[in-house]
């Protein structure tokens, strides 16, 4: 009997699997619907194993249902919405005239969802002092039921910024839907439209995987000074790392005493120095010149803040900036930087995906578009003022605070043409606050391996800079951390600069007396500085090699072929093999010569030119040192567009090629 029961259970389980398989079959294709496949309107039947969105207009033409299959929900919007699916892994943005909705599937990291939303998502808008300081009016705060689910609605407004409604729809457990509705005027029609969308919510069977199509592309400014253009090319092609430093006294004794004292003990100078300034306060140009005279590039951080980010519940200048009232401050800053004249790594409003800066998303209506508008406005003013010496660095924090899809770091990217380098920031904060925040000791490879995983799909074509980083000594072995950092940093090929933040975070809570909670000082002990010296000496002894290939530039209309492949700086003798086939000829060894190599004044190869004919140029293989790739990469000529074929020999490295609109934009030889 027991055996019979067991077999019956197996049969039931098998039947359940069959039924589940049937349930997971692709939805029926509706010929009246519009489908989006991986963010693009589909011209063929959609593949539901990928990212499929469906839009189906109602029979009366007044509304349309939007189904997000990977995220598992369906909503009804007013008819003829425009959908932005660029970052569909995180949000969907639907817009029509006078009405917009940003929808995202969210999960609270804490069991108490009410408390999480009250503190992490809404604490600024519900704070009367914050609203008064920033002229924000609270129009609505209510909890109701929509689509049979508990829902909280908060509506705020500000003159010239319109109306923002935040809706949190509890979908079960720690999960919720988050909506940001926007309009110009808060009235009954708008309120009804918001509630109509919320009431339409329906969970559907999840199918496929969400895809974000953002692929940032770094564009060198055509207006740059020759020195700035040369520095940027160096960062694009260099294969070793420049090192930088920040000290609290950098503007005073730091550049003349503190930093030189560290450099003497390390035995190698820093190439970069980090400086901070608040917008509206003059940049100390003499300090910049002193740093330059000492052979250093300046990483200048400008923050739109009123009190150095020390009062996030107070006034934020962001709203006034976007209304033009800070243009004089921006132009004065532009003039000072222009007069300085030398290349600057310009970092504006870093760590915007946090909750501790005066310009962060959670403070500025939880709307990343505001951050992007600030960036573009400052950039455009600089262009108008003729600033030609800034390399713009976009620098989110390594983790999103709050940890929400709507607050994902990619949502703050200002756009191609406004950014030339990607800044990455991740600290080993140690364990001082382990009982308060749960922080843990994190190794360099853990921090930057995760950053590399998250950032590479979107920003792999940029040179990266660790704009600030460090390790605490609380909770672990700081000397060992530094040693292991040097062992691992070389694997992250995008990183061209790394800047150590030699200062600390302090605990100003009652009774703590400003204790150094996170001591990041590089010279905290002789041993920590000695570890840094060992690492720099080791990297210097290893010399330079390259596995990264970069494009000289995209097609120009007057060019007959895309010719230049910038491979980085490496010694001519390191190239052990290069096989090419111009004009579809049989593969042959390309000879060493000016037609193939461009040598720099220092004797290093800077570029390989493979001259193509009227059809295609095939690069068949390349070896640099012990790294060899047997490949077939077709570079299309103008008008001949098509495909890029990449075939790697077994056991060899792979070749990544970025190819858009018949233009080869990036080639990377991956170990």
pLDDT in tens, 97-112: 999 999 999 999 999 9
pLDDT at 554 over 60: no
| pLDDT at residue 542, as a whole number | 79
pLDDT in tens, 172-199: 999 999 999 999 999 999 999 999 999 9
pLDDT for the residue numbered 236: 87
pLDDT at 218 over 70: yes
pLDDT of residue 237: 78
Query: What pLDDT is stored for residue 540 in this prediction?
Result: 87
Domain boundary among 479, 501, 523: 501
Is it the case that residue 661 has pLDDT exceeding 60?
no
Give me the pLDDT at residue 493, please: 87
Rounded to whole angstroms, how far apart are CA atoms 150 and 152? 7
User: Domain count of the chain?
Assistant: 3
Who wins on pLDDT, 78 or 624? 78
Query: Of 662 and 306, which is predicted with more confidence?
Result: 306
Q: Indicate if 573 and 635 belong to the same structural domain.
A: yes
Is residue 154 over pLDDT 70? yes
Number of Cβ within 10 Å of residue 506's Cβ equals: 14
Note the pLDDT of residue 94: 99
Residue at 196 is within a domain? yes
Cβ neighbors of 61 (< 8 A, separation 6 or more) are: 79
pLDDT at position 161 over 50 = yes
In a domain, 645, yes or no: yes
Q: What pLDDT, on the 0 to 100 scale, is given for residue 461?
A: 82
Instruction: Tell me the mean pLDDT in the region 408-426.
Output: 97
Tell me the residue range of the domain where 661 lies.
548-670
pLDDT reading at 453 higher than 60: yes
Confidence category of residue 20, pLDDT binned at 50, 70, 90: very low
More confident residue, 527 or 627: 527
Question: Domain check: are 470 and 573 in the same one?
Answer: no
At residue 24 the predicted structure's pLDDT band, cuts being 50, 70 and 90, is low
Q: Is the pLDDT of residue 633 over 80?
A: no
Does 208 reside within a domain?
Answer: no
Does 231 map to a domain? no
* CATH code: domain of residue 199: 3.40.1000.10
* Ramachandran angles phi, psi of 661, nearest 5°: 50, 45
Q: pLDDT over 70 for what percent of the chain?
A: 77
The proportion of the chain whose per-residue pLDDT surpasses 90, expressed as a percent, equals 72
Q: Are residues 286 and 429 located together in one domain of the fold?
A: yes
Q: Which residues pair with 299 in a beta bridge?
A: 274, 345
Residue 659 lies in a domain: yes
Tell me the pLDDT of the chain averaged across its residues: 83
With 60 as the cut, is the pLDDT of residue 314 above it?
A: yes
Q: Which backbone phi and psi does 556 adopt, to 5 degrees?
A: -105, 155
> 107 and 197, same structural domain?
yes
> What pLDDT, in 10s, does the model give residues 230-239?
999 899 878 8
Tell me what pLDDT residue 568 has.
42
Residue 275 lies in a domain: yes
Model confidence at 634, pLDDT cuts 50, 70, 90, reads: very low
Q: In the prediction, which pLDDT does 543 show?
A: 66
Q: Which of 592, 594, 590, 587 is nearest to 578 (CA)?
A: 590
266 with 321, same domain: the answer is yes
Query: How far apart are alpha carbons 530 and 264 in whole angstroms?
Result: 11
Question: Whole-angstrom Cα distance, residue 50 to residue 47?
Answer: 6
- Co-location of 181 and 249 in the same domain: no
Q: What is the pLDDT of residues 37-58, one digit of tens each?
A: 999 999 889 999 999 999 999 9
428 C-beta neighbours (distance < 10 Å), count: 26
Q: Is-contact 415 219, C-beta < 8 A? A: no
| 199 plus 273 within the same structural domain | no
Choosing from 155, 186, 203, the residue where a domain stops is 203
Whether 484 and 571 share a structural domain: no
**Domain co-membership, 199 together with 247:** no
Please report the pLDDT score of residue 601 as a whole number.
Answer: 61
pLDDT of residue 387: 98
pLDDT tens for each residue of 568-617: 444 444 444 444 433 333 333 333 333 344 455 655 544 444 433 333 34
Any domain includes 1: no
Domain identity same for 443 and 559: no
Identify the three-state secondary structure at position 597. Answer: strand
154, 183, 203 - which closes a domain? 203
Clarify whether residues 356 and 410 are in a common domain: yes
In the prediction, which pLDDT does 346 show?
99
Q: How far is CA 75 from the centre of its chain?
A: 29
Query: Token match 């009190």: residue?
Result: 307
Task: Kindly report the pTM of this predicted structure.
Answer: 0.81
Domain annotation covers residue 21: no
Structural tokens at position 324: 């033009």
Q: Kindly write down the DSSP assignment for every residue of 339-357, as one continuous string.
A: HH-S-EEEEES--TTSSSS
- Indicate if 563 and 639 belong to the same structural domain: yes
Task: Determine contact, residues 660/642, Cβ cutoff 8 Å.
Answer: no
Q: Are strands 663-670 and 604-609 parallel, antiparallel or unpaired?
A: unpaired
Q: Token pair of 101, please?
A: 């909705």
pLDDT tens track for 113-134:
999 999 999 999 999 999 999 9
For 321-376, the pLDDT digits (tens) are 999 999 999 999 999 999 999 999 999 999 999 999 999 999 999 999 999 999 99
pLDDT band at 664, cuts 50/70/90?
A: very low
119-122's contacts with Cβ under 8 Å and 24+ in sequence apart are 120/355, 120/362, 120/402, 121/166, 121/168, 121/178, 121/362, 121/366, 121/402, 121/404, 122/154, 122/166
pLDDT in tens, 372-401: 999 999 999 999 999 999 999 999 999 999
pLDDT on residue 602? 54
Predicted confidence at residue 25, as pLDDT, reads 67
């Amino acid at each position: 009997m027991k055996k019979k029961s067991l077999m019956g259970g197996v049969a039931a389980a098998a039947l359940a699997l069959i039924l589940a398989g049937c349930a997971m079959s692709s939805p029926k294709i509706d010929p009246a619907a519009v489908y989006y496949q991986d963010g693009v309107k589909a011209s063929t039947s959609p593949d539901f194993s990928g990212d499929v969105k469906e839009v189906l207009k109602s029979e009366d033409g007044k509304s349309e249902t939007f189904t997000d299959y990977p995220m598992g929900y369906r909503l009804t919007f007013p008819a003829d919405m425009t959908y932005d699916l660029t970052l569909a892994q995180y949000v969907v943005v639907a817009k029509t005239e006078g009405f917009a909705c940003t929808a995202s599937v969210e999960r609270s990291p804490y069991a108490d969802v009410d408390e999480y939303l009250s503190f992490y998502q809404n604490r600024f808008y519900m704070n009367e002092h914050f609203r008064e300081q920033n002229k924000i009016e609270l129009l609505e705060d209510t909890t109701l039921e929509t689509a049979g689910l508990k829902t909280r609605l908060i509506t705020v407004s500000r003159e010239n910024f319109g109306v923002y409604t935040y809706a949190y729809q509890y979908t079960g457990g720690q999960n919720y839907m988050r909506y940001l509705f926007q309009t110009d005027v808060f009235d009954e029609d708008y309120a009804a439209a918001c509630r109509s969308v919320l009431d339409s919510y329906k969970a559907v069977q999840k199918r496929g995987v969400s895809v974000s199509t953002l692929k940032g592309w770094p564009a060198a400014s055509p207006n740059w000074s020759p020195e700035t253009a040369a520095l940027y090319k160096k960062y694009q092609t260099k294969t070793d790392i420049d090192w930088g430093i920040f000290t609290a006294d950098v503007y005073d004794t730091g550049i003349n005493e503190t930093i030189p004292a560290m450099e003497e003990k390390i035995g190698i100078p820093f190439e970069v120095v980090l400086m901070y300034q608040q917008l509206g306060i003059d940049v100390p140009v003499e300090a910049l010149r002193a740093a330059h005279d000492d052979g250093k590039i300046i990483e200048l951080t400008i923050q739109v803040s009123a009190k150095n980010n020390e009062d996030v519940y107070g006034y934020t200048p962001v709203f006034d900036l976007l209304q033009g009232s800070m243009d004089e401050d921006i132009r004065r800053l532009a003039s000072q930087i222009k007069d300085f004249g030398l290349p600057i790594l310009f970092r504006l409003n870093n760590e915007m995906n946090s909750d501790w800066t005066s310009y962060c998303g959670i403070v500025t209506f939880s709307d990343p578009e505001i951050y992007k508008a600030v960036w573009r406005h400052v950039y455009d003013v600089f262009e108008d003022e003729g600033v030609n010496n800034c390399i713009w660095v976009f620098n989110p924090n390594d983790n999103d605070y709050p940890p929400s899809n709507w607050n994902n770091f990619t949502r703050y990217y200002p756009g191609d043409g406004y950014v030339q380098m990607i800044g990455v920031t991740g600290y080993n904060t140690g364990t001082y606050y382990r009982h308060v925040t749960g922080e843990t000791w994190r190794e360099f490879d853990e921090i930057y391996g995760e950053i590399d995983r998250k950032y590479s799909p979107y920003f792999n074509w940029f040179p990266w800079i660790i704009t600030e980083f460090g390790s605490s000594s609380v909770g672990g072995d700081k000397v060992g951390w530094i040693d292991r950092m040097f062992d691992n940093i070389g694997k992250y090929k995008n990183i061209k600069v790394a800047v150590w933040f030699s200062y600390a975070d302090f605990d100003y809570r009652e009774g703590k007396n400003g204790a150094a909670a996170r001591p990041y000082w590089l010279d905290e002990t002789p041993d920590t500085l000695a570890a840094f010296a060992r690492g720099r000496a080791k990297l210097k002894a290893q010399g330079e090699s390259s596995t990264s290939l970069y494009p000289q530039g995209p097609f120009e209309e007057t060019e007959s072929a895309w010719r230049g492949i910038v491979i980085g700086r490496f010694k001519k003798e390191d190239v052990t093999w290069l096989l090419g086939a111009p004009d579809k000829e049989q593969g042959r060894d390309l000879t060493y010569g000016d037609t193939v190599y461009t040598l720099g004044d220092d004797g290093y190869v800077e570029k390989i030119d493979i001259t193509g004919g009227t059809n295609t140029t095939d690069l068949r293989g390349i070896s640099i040192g012990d790294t060899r790739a047997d490949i077939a990469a077709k570079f299309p000529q103008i008008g001949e567009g098509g495909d890029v074929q990449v075939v790697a020999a077994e056991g060899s490295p792979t070749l990544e090629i970025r190819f858009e609109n018949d233009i080869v934009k990036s080639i990377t030889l991956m170990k």
